[in-house]
Amino acid sequence: MRIRVGHLYPEYLNIYADRGNIAVLARRAALRGHELSVRAISRGDELRPGELDLLYIGGGQDREQALVAPDLAEKGPALAEAVAGGAALLAVCGGYQLLGRSYRGQDGSLMPGAGLFPLETVAGETRMIGDVLLECRLDGGEPRQLAGFENHAGRTLLDEGAQPLGRVLYGFGNDGVSGFEGCRVGAAIGTYLHGPLLPRNPWLADWLLARALAHASGGPPPALEPLDDTLEREAFRVAASRARERGGRR
């Protein structure tokens, strides 16, 4: 099956090799006989919700975020329509911040957000840096762990009742206080975890792929054929071990 992917602002938002998440999705899809058809969507490009099964936006610094923020805010209604229609989405760090209602940078400037996630972000004076380990429970299933790397000054505050991606076991998370990391709306996930995220967390890559396939086929998320994830499990083990060495939740 052909999975149609919209990669938002790849020429602006690709810090910490976040583009590698697309490579992981493409490889894991191909090993199961599917094709990832990736289209770059940048400033001034139209976003047609019904034509995309999966959307992706990476991280960037404040300068790059400021360049794309107004355009992304204009695309907000189309993004919300796509997610409401069942499309999957992954947003990392800067992209995650800009999919909230707004992001106030360190210089005091206010960047408009797309409004997909029920949250706001304000830059703090210190950065929150290091390996992170989360506990997640998606779709009421068994708890799973996610490992990644965070490096952000933003303090992201979820609205009351908003659904976080996970609970912080080790690291800072959204704001270093709440114990929450990321946000989820339907099959849309936002997170601060870089690294890139998916090579060491193949179960999350497959969760996104299954929902993208469901959108493409009009059916339920399929059970994906297991792959040999020996290297991925070792990458997770190393990242999780580094996170545990930091001590308890920051």
Ordered by start, the domain boundaries in the chain are 2-245
pLDDT tens for each residue of 40-55: 999 999 999 999 999 9
Query: Of 93, 136, 152, 215, which one is the catalytic site residue?
Result: 93
- CB of 99 closer than 8 Å to CB of 20: no
Residue 232, pLDDT score: 97
> The whole model's pTM is what?
0.96
Residue 40, pLDDT score: 97
Residue 120, pLDDT score: 98
Residue 64, pLDDT score: 93
Phi–psi pair at 191, nearest 5 degrees: -155, 155
Residue 147 scores a pLDDT above 60: yes
Annotation marks residue 93 as catalytic: yes
Residue 140, pLDDT score: 77
Q: Which of 11-25, 43-57, 115-129, 150-164 has the lowest mean pLDDT?
A: 11-25
Band the pLDDT of 230: cuts 50, 70, 90.
very high
Phi–psi pair at 156, nearest 5 degrees: -100, 125
Angstrom CA distances, 239 to 149, 177, 181, 244, stand at 8, 22, 17, 9
Residue 172, pLDDT score: 96
Residue 248, pLDDT score: 62
Fold of 2-245: Rossmann fold (3.40.50)
The Cα–Cα gap between 235 and 178 comes to 27
Mean pLDDT, range 219-241, rounded to an integer: 97
Mean pLDDT, range 218-223, rounded to an integer: 96
Residue 16, pLDDT score: 78
- CB of 160 closer than 8 Å to CB of 201: no
Annotation marks residue 136 as catalytic: no
Residue 195, pLDDT score: 83
pLDDT tens for each residue of 80-124: 999 999 999 999 999 999 999 999 988 889 999 999 999 999 999
Mean pLDDT, range 182-199, rounded to an integer: 96
Residue 72, pLDDT score: 98
Residue 250 scores a pLDDT above 60: no
Place of tokens 């193949």: 202
Residue type, 215: H
Residue 185, pLDDT score: 98
3-state secondary structure of 44: coil
**DSSP character for 116?**
-
Measured in whole angstroms, the distance separating CA 5 from the mean position of its chain's CA atoms is: 14
- Computed over every residue of the chain, the mean pLDDT equals 95
Greater pLDDT, 61 or 70: 70
Band the pLDDT of 2: cuts 50, 70, 90.
very high
Measured in whole angstroms, the distance separating CA 92 from the mean position of its chain's CA atoms is: 4
Query: Of 7, 34, 194, 215, which one is the catalytic site residue?
Result: 194
CA dihedral for 142, 201, 15, 30, sign (positive or negative): negative
Residue 249, pLDDT score: 62
